[in-house]
Amino acid sequence: MGALRLMLPLLVLLAAAARAVAAAGTRPSEVAVGALFTYDSTIGRAARLAVELAVDDVNADRTVLAGTQLKLITQDTNCSGFLGTIEALQLMEQNVVAVMGPQSSGIGHVISHVVNELHVPLLSFAATDPTLSASEYPYFIRTTISDYFQMNAVASIVEYYQWKEVTAIFVDDDYGRGGVSALGDALAEKRARISYKAAIPPNSNTDMINDVLFRANMMESRVMVVHVNPDTGMSIFSIANKLQMLARGYVWIVTDWLAAVLDSSASRDLKYMSHIQGLIVLRQHTPESAAKNKFISKWNNVARNRSITSGLNSYGFYAYDSVWAVARGIDQFLNSGQQINFSTDPRLHDSNGSTLQLSTLKIFDGGEQMLQQLLLANFTGLTGPVQFNSDRNLVRPAYDILNIGGSGSQLIGYWSNYSGLSVTAPEILYQKPPNTSSIVQRLHNVVWPGDSTTTPKGWVFPNNGQPLRVGVPIKASFKELVAGGRDPNNVTGYCIDIFNAAINLLPYPVPCQFVTIGDGTKNPNYDDIINMVAANSLDAAVGDFAIVRNRTKIAEFTQPYIESGLVIVAPVKQATSSAWAFLKPFTLEMWCVTGALFLFVGIVVWILEHRTNEEFRGSPRRQVITIFWFSFSTMFFSHRQNTVSALGRFVLIIWLFVVLIINSSYTASLTSILTVQQLATGITGIDDLISSALPIGYQAGKFTRNYLIEELNIPESRLVPLNTIQEYADALKRGPKDGGVAAIVDEMPYVDIFLSYHCNFRVVGQEFTKEGWGFAFQRDSPLAADLSTAILQLSESGQLQRIHDEWFTRPSCSSDDSEVGATRLGLGSFWGLFLVCALICLFALLLFFIRVCWQYSKYSNSEAAGEPSAADADAATAAADAAERQRRPSRLGSFKELIQFVDKKEEEVRRTMKRRSSEKDNQAAGSSDAQSAVSA
């Protein structure tokens, strides 16, 4: 058993070795892979040599495909979709297990259908069209960076410089359209957009390109994003230079095709370099490494030996890594025991008389397994990590951002999908959390076209001969704001003058054409005008447009040029005088409580002063009169009685303070009632207006109606539309009972104008909204921002106020600014003061009665001590004490005696107590002498 146990591991090793030998014996000695290029092209020249060098390196490496050689089969697609398809079919006839290429996105779309049917993985190192998706083409693998990421990099640059519109110049094929579509989506996320698409047909001549660029130059955007093919794209800049589109104020952002052209140019043509000064160019970022430098040196040596004049570009690096990805995938495929077999497709057969020989095309039986092995690639190549995410995109897309200047280019920053724009290499930022600081999101300084270092504004007013279509509402009234007739050139008013003044401050000419909206008899709907701007029927809307929430969702507004807010206007009437007007300041409850408090304080002071003050004594009739006279004379501070006790003076001081407040409030309220205008309807603010069921007027066409219905939940049946100032006045005069309105809700500027004509109405309450008036433009229009700056400049210079004064010079009604609708004062305004006064009076009474009880106790004791006569002196002390104790409770319990004691004068009580104390001392001395005599 022991020997058998020792032999088991040996048997296992022998079995594994046998399987390895068997597997090695079944591995093919050669595996064919294909490559599709356009040989005579910027990308093709660099990629073809890179692929050949990669195959040589793979075959020389013993750690990959040991015992198996890669056989490279290349075909020239001639940059033609038709010829590319034919070449791809010829390539498939040679039983290749994978194809690298093509470099054209258009050809990639066609060939992807072929490889899908034959189950042959297609690895493209240059087809960047984002629409080449794995969901539609499962056997397509992109081994370069998709234009989806490149367009996000472009959008980040646009956002960084705060541009809002770009012009897209692109080749009108799958590559160009796919890239521009991705650019539009990326810009939308940054709140920017493509304002004009300049599509250049493939294989266009100079005249066609000139026409496209000429039309693009007529547009307002000066930010040009160029996304074309590298072999024909340079002609764009020479034509643009003739059209003076590379002058100061222009911005050119070029995708990675131009970097490939510049890198591939062994000796850069100075003529072409002069046409591209100031451009921003993107290039796929490949980190520096020893392997990359070694490959560059090797590629240059071989190219020199083969007399290749073109240079190496970044696409060559991706082509090199694609070969290694294929080699590693094949190696894993073979190591898993898979066999390379091909089978015929019964659907592919030669028709009678056909020479296409479709039957020679075979399906790769292990295509699905090979595809999965390729997608599991995970190694570091010349371009960095070669690894695919769930969308089959490389995991770390990044770009260099270059600025063309002089005879070369300057690196001004990087973009990566991980951290956005930065001046730090992406491989360094990958070691840190994303966007750790806002400082990362920046670029170095740029020299723009025209040798300018000032960041261009990015747009100008369009030079296409079309003036700005400005909609102006023509209303039935309020002509001070906007007025006009059938002739749009005769539009005048406060709003028009501000708009013209702001336009004149712009650093560029803006021709305007006013479009009048409305017939002057009925107010147009302002929301409809804003919708016309949003629908591109108008370029702008100028007038008394309030900046409210629902409008800002569809249009762009300038800085407000005047403040505004909703207020309530109501009719007022003069208060009619009456014989009892003096009672109106206080309510009945207030009068009753005030009178009661006067009497209460008078009684309290009488109690506190009665024992010590002669003026508060006398007959009962006189004392009652004194109480009433003192109480009510304090209202006028004319009381003649003086207070001598400390508690009485304390209570009187507090009471006089209360009387002062009551007198002041009464005087103010009576003055207001007799002089201030009163509301005819009783509405004093927005709360009263909402809670009532009275009809409300509003200006037709304005946002007020929607605000009252949607925000304040006022039924529409209560709302009455009004158009003119006269309709305002008539509706308010008639009132709710005669078919008018109880109040009108409108914006403050309109109300000011209305009240300057009619003085028998007033604003009640406060403004219950806060907004302003501005000029409306289409969403993200650069004119809105520039006009906002101009409006601020008008405000700072004082011209905004001067324009206001010119149009609002009509004097207002001569009336005071007092609040309308003075109200009567009730107990609720004074109950706290009254409560404090009452508590102080009660506290003074409590102290007074405690002191009286204490005096009464001492007074009773002194009286009891003085009652025994000298005849009773010889009586027993015990009997006298007992009798004294029997008499004292009866006196203390006598309420009548207590009242009589309280009625006594303080001075009399003290004198009596002093006398009795002396008598007690004398009696004590006599008793002592008698006892001495008896003892003797």
Residue type, 40: D
Instruction: Name the residue among 91, 145, 150, 149 with its Cα closest to residue 122.
Output: 91
Burial status of residue 826 (CB atoms within 10 A of its CB: 0-12, 13-18, 19 or more): middle
- Pick from 499-503, 715-719, 756-760, 855-859: least confident: 855-859
Least confident of 438-452, 549-563, 859-873: 859-873
pLDDT at 819: 45
CB 195 within 8 A of CB 165: yes
Structure tokens at 919: 């008598």
What was the pLDDT predicted at 931? 60
Pairing of strands 678-679, 566-573: antiparallel
- According to the model, what pLDDT value does residue 139 have? 94
CATH class (in words) of the domain with range 26-145+288-387? alpha beta
pLDDT at 184 over 50: yes
What pLDDT does 330 receive?
94
| DSSP states along 109-150 | HHHHHHHHHHT--EEESS---TT--TTT-TTEEE-S--HHHH
Which position has the token pair 């074309």?
Answer: 228
Query: In Å, how far from its chain's centre is CA 105?
Result: 40
How confident is the model over 797-826, as a mean pLDDT? 70
pLDDT at 619: 67
Look at residue 106 in the predicted model and tell me its pLDDT.
Answer: 86
Range scoring the smallest mean pLDDT among 332-341, 594-603, 773-782: 594-603
d(CA 227, CA 607): 104
Identify the bridge partners of residue 745 per DSSP, sorted by sequence position. 568, 698
Q: What pLDDT digit, counting tens, does each position of 117-145 carry?
A: 899 999 999 999 999 988 889 999 999 99
Largest CA distance in the chain: 181
| Phi, psi dihedral angles at 284 (to 5 degrees) | -55, 130
What's the pLDDT score for residue 530? 95
With bands split at pLDDT 50, 70 and 90, how would you rate the model's confidence at 60? very high
pLDDT digits (tens, 9 = 90+) for 769-788: 888 999 999 987 888 988 99
Mean pLDDT score across all residues of the chain: 82
Lowest-confidence segment of 224-238, 636-650, 724-738 by average pLDDT: 636-650
Q: Is the pLDDT of residue 831 over 80?
A: no
Q: Which residues contact 903 (CB under 8 A, 6 or more apart)?
A: 610, 611
Q: Would you place residue 924 in the very low, low, confident or very high pLDDT band (cuts 50, 70, 90)?
A: low
What sign for the dihedral angle of Cα 77, 82, 83, 88? positive
Q: Are 523 and 699 in contact (CB under 8 A)?
A: yes
Tokens at 70, concatenated: 């890669």
In angstroms, rounded to a whole number, what is the distance separating the alpha carbons of residues 909 and 859?
8
What is the mean pLDDT of the segment spanning 664-676? 69
Write out the two tokens for 45: 């020249």
Q: Which fold has domain 147-286+398-440?
A: Rossmann fold (3.40.50)
From residue 663, give the alpha-carbon distance in Å to each of 583, 586, 594. Answer: 13, 11, 11
Q: Are 834 and 597 in contact (CB under 8 A)?
A: yes
Q: How far apart are CA 763 and CA 808, in angstroms?
A: 18
Find out whether 753 and 480 touch, Cβ atoms under 8 Å.
yes
pTM as predicted? 0.66
Extract the tokens encoding 174: 């799958």
**Helix 257-264 to helix 314-335 angle, to the nearest 10 degrees?**
100
End-to-end CA distance of the chain: 147
Give the residues across from 449 on adjacent strands. Answer: none
Residue 171: its pLDDT value, please? 94
Max mean pLDDT range (263-277, 281-295, 865-879):
281-295
Burial class (CB in 10 A: 0-12, 13-18, 19+), 230: buried
Closest CA relative to residue 602, chosen from 635, 569, 566 = 635
Q: Is the pLDDT of residue 225 over 90?
A: yes
Q: What are the extents of the domains in the chain? A: 26-145+288-387, 147-286+398-440, 466-561+774-814, 566-573+678-770, 581-676
Average pLDDT rounded to a whole number, residues 339-356 = 69
Task: Pick from 240-254, 500-514, 824-838, 911-925 the range whose average pLDDT is largest.
Answer: 240-254
**Residue 117 CB contacts under 8 Å (≥ 6 apart), including other chains:** 345, 363
Which residue did the predictor score with more confidence, 363 or 619?
A: 363
Tell me the chain's radius of gyration from C-alpha atoms. Answer: 52
Whether the predicted pLDDT of 599 surpasses 90 = no
CA dihedral 610, 616, 620, 622 (to 10 degrees): 180
Token pair for 876 = 């027993």
Q: What is the DSSP letter of 387?
A: E
In percent, the amount of the chain with pLDDT more than 90 equals 42
Query: Could you give the CA distance from residue 836 to residue 840 in angstroms, rounded to a whole number?
Result: 6
Q: H or E stretch including 433?
A: none
pLDDT exceeds cutoff 70 at 935: no
Beta strands 122-124 and 99-100, pairing class: parallel
249: helix, strand or coil: coil
Judge whether residue 878 has pLDDT over 50.
no
The architecture CATH gives domain 466-561+774-814: 3-Layer(aba) Sandwich (3.40)
Percent of all residues in the chain with a pLDDT value above 70, rounded to a whole number = 76
- Tokens 């290499």, residue located: 425
Q: Which amino acid is at 856?
A: Y
What fold does the segment set 566-573+678-770 form as a domain?
D-Maltodextrin-Binding Protein; domain 2 (3.40.190)
Query: Residue 270: is its pLDDT beyond 70?
Result: no
Closest CA to 221 of 174, 164, 136: 164
Rounded to an integer, the average pLDDT of 722-746 is 91
Identity of the residue numbered 86: I
* Distance in angstroms (rounded) separating the CA atoms of residues 539 and 513: 10
Instruction: Return the percent helix, strand and coil in the chain, to nearest 5.
Output: 50, 15, 35
Supply the DSSP symbol for 36.
Answer: E
Domain pair 466-561+774-814 / 566-573+678-770, same fold = yes
pLDDT in tens, 286-312: 999 999 999 999 999 999 998 888 889
Count of all residues that appear for the chain in the document: 936
Nearest to 323 by CA among 127, 123, 138, 112: 123
Tens of pLDDT, residue by residue over 632-650, are 676 665 566 666 677 767 7
Gap between the Cα atoms of 594 and 33, Å rounded: 110
- Distance (Å, rounded) from C-alpha 137 to C-alpha 158? 32
Cβ neighbours of residue 152 closer than 8 Å, sequence gap 6 or more: 182, 186, 415, 417
